[in-house]
Each structure stands twice: as structure tokens, then as C-alpha cells.
Structure 1
Amino acid sequence: MLSGPLPVTATPLILTTMALALAGPAPAWLARAKWPRRVPRAALVLWQALTLAAVLSALGAGASVATLAVHGDQLNLGMVLLHAAAFVFTLTVLARLLWAAHTLGTSLRARRRRHRQLVDLLSHIDQRAPGARILDARETFAYCLPGLSSRLVISSSAVDVLADDELRAVLEHERAHARARHDLVVEGFAALHSAFPWFGRSRAALDAASGLVEMLADDAARRRTGALPLGRALVRLADATVPAGTLGSSGTSPLVRIQRLAEPAPTTHRGFAAAVYVASMALIMVPTLTVATPWLAYVSAGI
């Protein structure tokens, strides 16, 4: 058997442990951090790297079990049982990921299609809110109905209560959602969240992603309208709720977002953002170099 930085027979166990740690404790720890709101784009990339590394570790565990079963010559009964557990874990993650991606995507698109039809039927256009669909309602709300044919939806009460600059800020926020397809980002995190069994997953990544895309939309609106109109608009819409499957300018940590608008713009934290991007790359690369490379060398030598 080839030697390496880590025993190759331990590769499935190490990868399974990494997958569980990256899917549960690590997201819970990162969710408590305060710095992501300073660099939301970089923080979102880090969250993506974290969840991707967890899935890759889980899939790698199963692949390493299969190859070690063929090429291994020093596996005792205990290791066989542990490897079997790792293989079952991998199959579970893979099956749940594929099922979640299919069912989530299908249900969301069907719901949004019906929602879009209702909006087109019941809404009207108002020159005070260019590009948006107005729904007559006593509640104040605004949201983006995402998709290839997106809709910006705002209630008549919100149009009446918001000043012109505040209304423009809200619409810019929703346009940022539609333009950047933030819905696909959130859907990806939702599918990855569903991939892991209940005992090895955390909602932290999904909740954090939902908040970070709102901050990114805030930043896009702030660049076009200024922080003050957007902040006032968020206060007015703080109690609003948005339908499931949509992205709204309210409903996700409004207090944190309002406080954040008083802080320096993210462009002043470029050095820190660069460090977070490097950490994201390392999160993917380091496990590959330290765990997967010795295993691949071992497999290559056995062929």
C-alpha cells in the first residue's frame, strides 16, 4: 500500500467526517459571525464553497469506498463496516440532492407560473412605479417574482405611502434581484440543505444566503438612489410579508439591513473581501490536496 500524508484506507471515514462537519457545526459557527454583512458577495461565495465542499466530501467518501473495496488488501471487518456506513451516507446524500433539485425546481416554477398569471390578470400599471405591476391591497409590500419572465410587484398602498425617491429605491432593489437571478442562488442552497439527512445538516447556510442576497440587492439600490431613501423605505416596509417563492425588499432581517446602510459601503472592504475569496478557494482545494490526492495516487498505482 502506498504511503501518503494520510492513510488511504481512512479516506472514506475522513471525508464522511468532513462532510458532516461542513454541513452542520461549520455553518452554525459561521452564522454567528458579524463580518459577512460587510462583504456580502464574498460571504456568499464562502457559503457556497462551504456547502459545495460538504457535498464533494460526501460524494468522495462513496467513491473512495468503491475503489478501496476493489484495490484494498488490508481491510479488516471493522473497517469494512465503517466503509459501508460511509457508502450508505454517500448514496443517501446523492439521492436526496437529485430528488431535492428536481422537486424543488419543478414546484417553484409551477408556483411562480401560476403566481405570474394571477399578477398579470389582477394588476395594473401606474406611472409612479415604472416597470412594476400594481396590486390593489391595503397591505404595503413589494417583491420580485423571479424567472425568465420576471415581474416587479408592489401594492397600491406601498405606492401611496412611499415618497418618490423611496419608491425608486424599492424598485431598484427588486430589479437587482431579477437582474442577478438571486432566486437561483437561494434555490441552490435549498437543494443542498435538503441533500443531507436531518442529523447532519443545518439551516444556517440557507438562512444566511437569503439574507445576503437581500443585502446585495440593497447595495445595488444604494448605488443608484442613495442609502437614505432606501433606509426610509425599509422602515416603511419592515412589517410587510411576501409570498413564498418570491424575493422581497422586506421580511429578511430589516433591522440589520437598516443598520448596515449607515455603515461604509462594501467597496471600502476590498482587501477583506479578497481574503474571504482566498479562504473560499482554500476550503475547496485543501481537502482535495490532503485527502483525495493520496487516495487517487493509491488507486492509480493499483490499476
Structure 2
Amino acid sequence: MTVAPALFGYAALVGLLAPRALARARWPHRAPRLAVALWQGLALSFVTALVLAVHHLAAPGVHLHLLLTGRVHLCGTAHGAGLPAGTAWRLLIPAAAALLPAARLAGALLRTARHRRRHRALLDLVAVRDPALGAHVLDHPVPAAYCLPGWRPRIVLTRGALDLLTAPQLAAVLAHERAHVSGRHHLARAAADAFAAAFPYLPLARHAAREVPLLLEMAADDRAVRRHPRAALAAAVFRVAGGRAPHPAFGAGGTAALLRVRRLLHPAAAPHPALCAAAALTSAGAPVLPLLVTCGPLLL
């Protein structure tokens, strides 16, 4: 029973304290992809710790390990026949705790896929594909640029954006939207939204749902400025800032446009390599740490 309080304490640390420190840090905007990975690692670590803590409350002393031999090990004792009598039903409780975020994630992916499918069908009716741009052009005066990611992605530009943007600005915007598509940023965003839906009152979930979309926009900016001038992308973001993208899409403008423009025009140095290494190790190791807490001696 001593393992369960330790896991609940770890989950509280990850879910309550860690997100506030990470949200106040300045380095995530200088390494957005790494910051997204860290938010995801913390979320997975919280869910793992919570499920294992519930498991230890429901079935104290029962640790399941599926090893290469295919045998089930319970607290260091090998049982080739399986679980002791009367304990199997208790495993349904932690299974239910694990299914909640999994179901939320599946539901978020299905909903966004359905919205994108409907929007793609609408674009095929009202927009005109421009092969030279590799984008669909929507006859609308408000300048806007966005992409619909997924299996059949669409990059959408309004006629207002084409009339307003210069050639270098247009090329930078297209590179930004292609970065969203190639990076499969919609999966990270869906995971953050699903985590927030599963744990709406958890600071980690709220902060992740707010920070991850902005970090993904910054990551796409960083990808675009590898081949295009920063000033061109900053000007394009400012000019299309008033355009609204549909919810399942990634827009080049939006409410965070001013922050992104400032970041593009005044780039900061990358975080110290030691900080990057620590963040990478934390994002990779945090989901495993609850397993080591509860099952460390047996996994060695």
C-alpha cells in the first residue's frame, strides 16, 4: 500500500506543480518542438502514475509484467498459470482509469477528422485548386491562410490573401502551412485537447491545451524560416492575422500573431544544450518513471 501514496504524490507533482513552472519558463518559445514533447511526456506520465496508483489501491501487491518469456510475474514470483484467484476482476478498475483518456483521445481524433472531412467536401465545391501554389483558393475578401491536415490535407488561401501578400510573403506562408502538414501537428494538438477534455480541472491539462497550439505555430514558423526570410513571414503573419481558420485547421494568423511576429523579428538564442538535454531526457523518461517506482526491482 505504500506504493499507491507515492504514485499519487508523483501524479500531484506532475499535474499541479510542473505545468506552472513550465508555463512560466521562457525557453519553450525558443525550442517549441522540444517543449511540445515535454508537455506530452508530462501528460503521459501523469496518466501512467494515476492508473498505476489506482491499480495498487484496487489490487495491492499485484504487479503485472509481460516479459519475453510470456510469463506473468506477480511481485517477483513467477506464475505461469496467470493471476491468483479473485484478483482478476480488480484489474478492471485501473483499466477503466486508463480508458478515460484513451476514449477522449479517440473521440477527439474522430471529431476533428469528421470536421475536416466536411470542410474538405465544402472546399471542393467552393474553392479552386491552384496547381502552381499547391493550394485551394477561396474567393473571399478577408485575407486568411490555413491548412486542413490529415490523410488528404488542404492548404487554403483566400483571394484577399493573394491580393495582399507579396511573392516572398506568400511563399513563406505556404511553407508554414506545409510544415504543419508534414509535421503532423494535428496529432499533438488533438492529444492536448483530449487530455484537457479528460481532466478539465487539472492545471497540466489546461496549460497544455493552451500552450501546445501556440508552440506548434512557432515550430511551423521555425521550419518556414529555414528557406524564407523572417521578415517576409512576419509581415505575412501580421497581414493575415485577422483571418479566422476553422477549428480543426491551423491558421497562419490568429490571436497569437503579435507574439509570433515579435519572435520572428527578434529571434532569441537557442536554449543551452544542457537545458535541451535535460528537457529531452525528462520528456522521454517521465512516462517511464511511474513504472520504475512501482516495478523497478522486477524490471532490473
TM-score class, shorter-chain normalisation, is: 0.7 to 0.9
Q: Compute the displacement of 1:92 (Å).
A: 6.2
Q: Compute the displacement of 1:206 (Å).
A: 1.6
Q: Compute the displacement of 1:278 (Å).
A: 2.3
Note closer, same or farther for the CA distance 1:265–1:164 as it changes in structure 2 (3 Å cut). farther
For 1:89 and 1:33, how far apart are their aligned partners in 2? 37
For 2:59 and 2:143, how far apart are their aligned partners in 1? 58
Note closer, same or farther for the CA distance 1:279–1:172 as it changes in structure 2 (3 Å cut). same
Amino acid corresponding to residue 252 of structure 2 in structure 1: S
The answer on whether the counterparts of 2:51 and 2:98 sit within 8 Å (CA) in structure 1 is yes
Q: Compute the displacement of 1:271 (Å).
A: 4.8
For 1:200 and 1:255, how far apart are their aligned partners in 2? 25
The answer on whether the counterparts of 2:135 and 2:156 sit within 8 Å (CA) in structure 1 is yes
Report the more deviating stretch, 175-184 or 19-28: 19-28
Listed as ranges, the matches of 1:258-269 within 5 Å are: 258-264=261-267
For 1:197 and 1:254, how far apart are their aligned partners in 2? 26
Amino acid corresponding to residue 143 of structure 2 in structure 1: T
The residue that corresponds to 1:68 in the other structure is: 60
1:216 aligns with 2:216: no
The residue that corresponds to 1:113 in the other structure is: 117
Deviations 1:164-204 (A, max 9, x none): 10011000000000111100111112222222263676410
The answer on whether the counterparts of 1:234 and 1:254 sit within 8 Å (CA) in structure 2 is yes
For 1:293 and 1:189, how far apart are their aligned partners in 2? 29
The answer on whether the counterparts of 1:240 and 1:251 sit within 8 Å (CA) in structure 2 is yes
The residue that corresponds to 2:44 in the other structure is: 52
**How many residue pairs were aligned?**
274
Deviations 1:192-248 (A, max 9, x none): 222226367641012111111101100111011121100111111222211111111
For 2:28 and 2:255, how far apart are their aligned partners in 1? 15
For 1:252 and 1:90, how far apart are their aligned partners in 2? 40
Q: Compute the displacement of 1:28 (Å).
A: 2.8
Deviations 1:37-70 (A, max 9, x none): 1111111111111111101101111222233166
TM (normalized to structure 1)? 0.81
For 2:193 and 2:185, how far apart are their aligned partners in 1? 13
Report the more deviating stretch, 21-30 or 46-55: 21-30
The residue that corresponds to 1:133 in the other structure is: 136
The answer on whether the counterparts of 2:58 and 2:93 sit within 8 Å (CA) in structure 1 is no
Note closer, same or farther for the CA distance 1:202–1:267 as it changes in structure 2 (3 Å cut). closer
Match for 1:160 among 160, 163, 166?
163
The answer on whether the counterparts of 2:162 and 2:170 sit within 8 Å (CA) in structure 1 is yes
1:94 aligns with 2:98: yes
Amino acid corresponding to residue 187 of structure 1 in structure 2: A
For 1:16 and 1:88, how far apart are their aligned partners in 2? 19
For 1:200 and 1:259, how far apart are their aligned partners in 2? 27
Match for 1:233 among 228, 233, 236?
236
The residue that corresponds to 1:16 in the other structure is: 8
Q: Compute the displacement of 1:287 (Å).
A: 4.2
The residue that corresponds to 1:245 in the other structure is: 248
For 2:227 and 2:170, how far apart are their aligned partners in 1? 12
Share of identical aligned residues, percent? 36
Note closer, same or farther for the CA distance 1:18–1:241 as it changes in structure 2 (3 Å cut). same
The residue that corresponds to 1:79 in the other structure is: none
Note closer, same or farther for the CA distance 1:55–1:69 as it changes in structure 2 (3 Å cut). same
For 1:176 and 1:198, how far apart are their aligned partners in 2? 32
Note closer, same or farther for the CA distance 1:93–1:17 as it changes in structure 2 (3 Å cut). farther
For 1:90 and 1:204, how far apart are their aligned partners in 2? 25
- Give the gaps of 5 or more residues in structure 2: 63-73, 76-90
Q: Indicate the SS of the match to 1:198.
A: coil
Note closer, same or farther for the CA distance 1:240–1:88 as it changes in structure 2 (3 Å cut). farther
Q: Indicate the SS of the match to 2:223.
A: helix
- Give the gaps of 5 or more residues in structure 1: 1-8, 73-86, 298-303
Note closer, same or farther for the CA distance 1:165–1:206 as it changes in structure 2 (3 Å cut). same
Higher helix share: 1
Deviations 1:137-183 (A, max 9, x none): 12111101011110000110011000110011000000000111100
For 1:18 and 1:252, how far apart are their aligned partners in 2? 35
For 1:12 and 1:193, how far apart are their aligned partners in 2? 24
Indicate the RMSD between aligned Cα atoms, in angstroms: 2.8
Q: Indicate the SS of the match to 2:137.
A: strand
Note closer, same or farther for the CA distance 1:130–1:23 as it changes in structure 2 (3 Å cut). same
The residue that corresponds to 2:78 in the other structure is: none
